[in-house]
Structure 1
């Protein structure tokens, strides 16, 4: 913790992610905002990961938010040429203006290496999707999936999310392929849910940022999958996983 306190502000994001949800375009890149419904956070301990490969092992962040129910949005880059891309997911904790964006940390990262500008710690995506949920919901979703596998309703490598994504695409086709690009999935028998979206350009390594207001409270949570500003400047694929500080 002593080492963490010396580096935590070095990991703050330089990008103002709030503008992804308030501006019609980031530079020359047109964006749109898609409402994903409300997210129930019964403990306020946040988990972000690839839900199809890492949900069981994902650790909650040290930073927390007050337990509650919060609206969630996705910033989408519409494109007929490249397909609609989900650039960022935002959980709105309050209406306060973000003053800084602090990199989410689980306390398991190896933080002895020097921190360079643009470095961050985050989670890996191997199935092209990421999620945001509560630590309690994570446990409930893992237990529910295990029951389906034990009953023979799912193969060991399957999750409930594949079917849920496809079904949600039928009900809400905007900015979705037939396989589904987002779903707000409630664990059966609970009031707890998991927000799942496609992860920008796909597999990679992504950060989660807790936005702090001037009074020191957390006013939002942002999971950027595409750094639109950097991508426009470089003309390259500037996914959130470029130049990361690895936690392995």
Structure 2
């Protein structure tokens, strides 16, 4: 893939990992230290509105294999899928907007409030390797995040080849040549992008809060360990509340 235009830098998401012993005696990550915004994924629209959180229901992502990719879609569309998978299907994506920015994004797999949360990992990542001020997430270098199926990357490559043929040039910028007009229709906040018309496999693309940075992704699980929701926190709010901007920004 070609390089992509970057949006204005606005700092790095800061989070602190704390370790507490689990019931089994093994180390466990205290997710509440990584994000205070996980309730966004469980609150109803009325409760969110009362907290000055604007809700954007942007449509369903088509997970053809159930292997989920959460990444910067422009510089990391080939990022490995998360270790935990879900049944193939079409799943709704919700964006949470505060202070004029996309504060968080969720993809819902089943109804219910998670009873526990875990940090989403890709192959090769080990929770036990983290130190107290570290967490796993994905880097953003183009001001955007996404959810898509791992199989959809092949469709992005196919679309890029189509654009190359149309332009009779290998110099293709996927953002300028494909995405820019689609994003502009939604004030550059989001788009449900279908790389190849008529083929299943689309990409939920959304503005990543303050822009470039490093952002954690979480699985919300029920009592049996079944995934209910996938949640990305862009560090725009604290305590799932959009009435008071963190740090007085």
TM-score (norm 1): 0.75
**SS of the residue 2:164 aligns to:** helix
* Alignment of 1:85 onto 2:101: yes
1:235: which partner in 2?
247
Deviation at 1:112, TM superposition (A): 6.0
Matches within 5 A, 1:18-167: 18-19=39-40, 21-22=43-44, 30-56=52-78, 58-77=79-98, 79=99, 84-109=100-125, 113-116=129-132, 119-149=134-164, 152=167, 156=171, 158-159=173-174, 163-167=178-182
Instruction: State the distance in 2 between where 1:182 and 1:221 align.
Output: 17
Tell me how far apart the structure 1 counterparts of residues 245 and 193 of structure 2 sit (CA, whole Å): 36
Residues in 1 aligned to 2:128 and 2:107: alpha-carbon distance in whole angstroms: 31
DSSP 3-state at the match of 1:30: coil
CA–CA distance in 2 between the matches of 1:204 and 1:221?
A: 19
In the superposition, relative to structure 1, how do residues 167 and 113 fare at CA in structure 2: closer, same or farther (>3 Å)? closer
Contact 2:163 2:172 in 1 (8 A): no
TM (norm. structure 2) is 0.75
Per the alignment, in what secondary structure is the counterpart of residue 192 of structure 2? strand
C-alpha separation in 1, matches of 2:139 and 2:127: 17
Deviation track 1:10-37 (CA, whole Å, cap 9, x = no partner) reads 16345352335536577x9611110110
- Which runs of 5 or more structure 1 residues have no equivalent in the other structure? 238-248
Q: Are the aligned partners of 2:101 and 2:236 in contact in 1 as well (CA < 8 Å)?
A: no
Kindly state the Cα deviation for residue 224 of structure 1 after the two structures are TM-superposed: 1.2
Change in 2 beyond 3 A, CA 1:38/1:235: same
Take 1:159 and 1:50, find their aligned partners in 2: how far apart are those partners?
Answer: 13
Q: 2:63 matched to 1:12?
A: no
The structure-2 alpha-carbon separation of the partners of 1:35 and 1:113, relative to structure 1 and needing over 3 Å to count, comes to: same
Aligned equivalent of 1:200: 209
User: Judging changes above 3 Å, is the alpha-carbon distance between structure 1 residues 192 and 153 closer, same or farther for their aligned structure 2 residues?
Assistant: farther
Q: CA deviation at 1:141?
A: 1.4
1:187 aligns with 2:195: yes
CA-atom RMSD in angstroms? 3.0
Alignment partner for residue 209 of structure 1, among 218, 226, 235? 218
Moved over 6 A (4+): none
| CA deviation map 1:104-155 (0-9, x unaligned) | 11123365644326x4201100110011100011222133224423553676
**Equivalent pair of 2:236/2:246 in contact (CA under 8 Å):** no
Unmatched segments (≥5 aa) in structure 2: 1-23
